[in-house]
Structure 1
Amino acid sequence: MLGKLFAWWNDATPGTFLTLAMKGASKVGEDEYGNKYFEEKKATASDGRKRRYVIYKGYADASRVPMAWHGWLHHTYAEPPTGGEPRHVWEKEHQPNLTGTVHAYKPSGSLSRGGHRQSASGDYESWTPEG
């Protein structure tokens, strides 16, 4: 329980659940990653729309929200997805964003790989004020 009080990046805190209860938000659905989606009963946003929320399962990673649920959260779609929406041929499976982790992509020449790059034809010369 102590972890729930302070670990906002991993599931929801008691404050989040309290806010959802005070706003009268009801659960609308859940996606294949276990994220839960909520919508307020009354419109309280300045534009007259009902606010919509997501509670992530595990680490809060916004890139794990499927396309259909993203559209619903941002009021692109009026109705929440049913789960039976067809996937497009060009859609790929989710890959986590590894930026800032030890598994991040580091191309040759990057400072985190030593900063040495291969020579190129017509290589540049750094600017000097004398020359």
Structure 2
Amino acid sequence: MGILGKIFTWWDGATIGTSLFSARNGSKVGEDHQGNVYFEGGKDVHGNPRRWVIYNGPNDASRVPAEWHGWLHGTIEGAPESNLPPPRIWETEFTPNLTGTDRAYRPSGALEQGGRRQAATGDYEAWAPDGQ
């Protein structure tokens, strides 16, 4: 992305202003396995530390892992690496939000799949407020 893109776009990575603000007013706390960098600096109006993320790629909140989401929202104090239990065997790897992409889920009744829904099977019974 060119310099003009960095100045005027916020949806595809950090703008120049955000990058300068982060370098000047924040201290780097850590980095996740996707390359997103987390900062902390200053206080908000309630006296809590300000925390933010600079994404490595498109700005998509679903790219923030659960442990860092908890840190961003003040659920845990220190960096997640020092406050988390070891991963469980049933935990899966991160999957990005696929909404709006070619790999998004589209059921058989979706317009992209022809727009024809399956016929009702008769197993639906409407709710009645009087219980009859």
**TM-score, length basis structure 1:** 0.79
Q: Name the count of aligned residue pairs.
A: 121
Number of the residue aligned with 2:67: 68
The equivalent of 1:127 in structure 2 is none
1:34-113 map, 5 Å: 34-40=35-41, 42-43=42-43, 45-82=44-81, 85=84, 86-113=86-113
Assess if the C-alpha contact under 8 Å between 1:7 and 1:13 holds in 2: yes
Q: Distance in 2 between matches of 1:83 and 1:7?
A: 34
Q: Report the 3-state secondary structure (helix = DSSP H, G, I; strand = E; otherwise coil) of the residue aligned with 1:100.
A: coil
Structure 2 unaligned regions, length at least 5: 125-132
Helix, strand or coil for the counterpart of 1:70? helix
1:7 is aligned to 9
Q: Which runs of at least 4 in structure 1 moved beyond 6 Å after TM superposition?
A: none
CA RMSD across the alignment:
2.2
SS at match of 1:51: strand
**Residue pair 1:10, 1:57 contacting (<8 A) in 2 also:** no
Give TM-score scaled by structure 2 length.
0.79
Counterpart CA distance in 1 for 2:82 and 2:48 is 24
SS in 2 for 1:69: helix
Give the % identical residues. 56
